[in-house]
Amino acid sequence: MSREAWSAQSSACPEAATMPLTLVLIALWALAFLTFNTVIAVRVWRLTHLPRWRRAIPALLLCAAVAASLSRATGTTVVAETFAFPLNAATAIVGVLEIRRHRARADGVAQGESA
């Protein structure tokens, strides 16, 4: 869109001027959520007492979510709309639960040894 067309559109519709800021905020939130999911998946992967298949679950869910999100580029938005957010949410939930379970087990062992 040319600069003249953009200024004509923004003067005709005042809400259009705030739209790019909204999109930037949504993109920043999505990037923060992706970063959070990546950190969680890596932290779970590093828990050596878990079997490999359980360590891989958050990373595999994250990869599936990224693949679903990237399917928008091919024009298949139904896949992204249906699967991307639930897979991202599942990554966060499973990862946080595994980390909490690990911490609870570590705290239980530490308290049992000190008693």
Which are the contacts of 70, defined by CB distance < 8 A and separation ≥ 6? Answer: 80
CA distances from 77 to 1, 50, 65, 69 (A): 24, 36, 13, 8
- Looking from the CA of 69 toward its CB, the CA atoms found within 13 Å total 14
User: What pTM value is reported for the model?
Assistant: 0.73
Cα-based torsion angle of the residue sequence 46, 66, 29, 10 in order, rounded to the nearest 10 degrees: 160
Using an 8 Å Cβ cutoff, are 55 and 44 in contact? yes
For 23-59, what is each residue's pLDDT tens digit? 999 999 999 999 999 999 999 999 999 999 999 999 9
